[in-house]
Structures are given as C-alpha cells and as structure tokens.
C-alpha cells in the first residue's frame, strides 16, 4: 500500500509551523510534497504558495493540502480562487472537523502567528481523519463549484 501524498506550502511567516506539520505528517505515514517556501527568513508572497498548493489539488496531483501564512487568511483566499479547491481556515478542532464533515474542505489553512503548534497538529490530524458527511451537504458544496 502506498502512502497518501499531502502537499504543504507556506510563506515566510508560516515556515516554522509548516516544518512542524511536515514532521508530524511523516510520522503519521504520509508522503509530504513541500512546495515551499524553504526559508523562514526571506520575505515571500503568500499568494504564490497558496496558488501552488491549490494547483496541486485542482489538478488532481494530490487530494489534500496544508497551507500556512502568518494568519492563514491571505493564503486561504489565494487558494480558494481555484475551481475545485475548498480551503478552510481553521482555529480549533471543531472548525477542522466541521470543515470536512459539512464543507468537504480539501485544503487546511492555519496561521503561523495565531495557532499554537500542538493545536495545529491536532487540527491537522482531525482534518485528515474526518470524512465528508455528504447527504444534506451535497447541494451546498455543489454550489461552491
């Protein structure tokens, strides 16, 4: 059985949290495709990394991605500009769970400045392990396309 691939991407403000989440993903048995940035000291533009992650999901290269910028807001906005991408900015386990159950989110956005690393790991694990409920939510999710 092959490990599922998960894309990760961040700007400089999300770099440290991205690196923490990469290690956790590897420990969980996922193959990690890191689309950058590769340095937390040089200022870069979050839309570039949100775009790269969203493109990987939209193209079918992967089914899910984890993206991080300072607050998670900008990178989630950038990712959501792509058809078929449903990026959810989550702040706790409940929003991570509900983003999957009700919205079939395929990209988890987190804030490097705003999310404690341990909480971020728990949110990520919840996001990855929660299934979409479908049913009454299908009509609404279809409207997002």
Question: What's the pLDDT score for residue 136?
Answer: 95
Question: What's the pLDDT score for residue 2?
Answer: 55
Which residue among 82, 90, 102, 137 is the active-site one? 102
Give the whole-angstrom CA distance, residue 71 versus residue 106.
19
Q: Is 102 a catalytic residue?
A: yes
Residues of the chain short of pLDDT 50, as ranges, are 1
User: pLDDT > 90: what percent of the chain?
Assistant: 97
Question: What's the pLDDT score for residue 1?
Answer: 45
Q: Identify the CATH assignment for 5-144 out of 1.10.390.10, 3.30.70.1150, 3.40.50.720, 3.40.1400.10.
A: 3.40.1400.10
Question: What's the pLDDT score for residue 3?
Answer: 76
Which residue among 12, 69, 82, 90 is the active-site one? 69
Cβ-based neighbours of 37, under 8 Å, separated by 6 or more: 9, 10, 11, 12, 15, 44, 49
Q: Is 123 a catalytic residue?
A: no
Q: Write down the pTM of the prediction.
A: 0.97
């Amino acid at each position: 059985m092959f490990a599922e691939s998960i894309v990760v991407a961040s700007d400089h403000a999300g770099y440290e949290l991205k690196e923490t989440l990469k290690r956790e993903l590897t420990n969980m048995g996922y193959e990690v495709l890191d689309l950058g940035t590769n340095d937390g000291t040089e200022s870069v533009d979050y839309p570039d990394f949100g775009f790269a992650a969203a493109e990987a999901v939209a193209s079918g290269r992967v089914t899910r991605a984890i993206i991080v910028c300072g607050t998670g807001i900008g990178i989630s906005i950038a990712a959501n500009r792509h058809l078929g991408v449903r990026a959810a900015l989550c702040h706790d386990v409940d929003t991570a769970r509900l983003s999957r159950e009700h919205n079939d989110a395929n990209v988890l956005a987190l804030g490097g400045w705003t999310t404690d690393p341990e909480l971020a790991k728990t949110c990520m694990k919840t996001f990855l392990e929660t299934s979409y409920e479908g049913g009454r939510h299908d009509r609404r999710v279809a409207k997002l396309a």
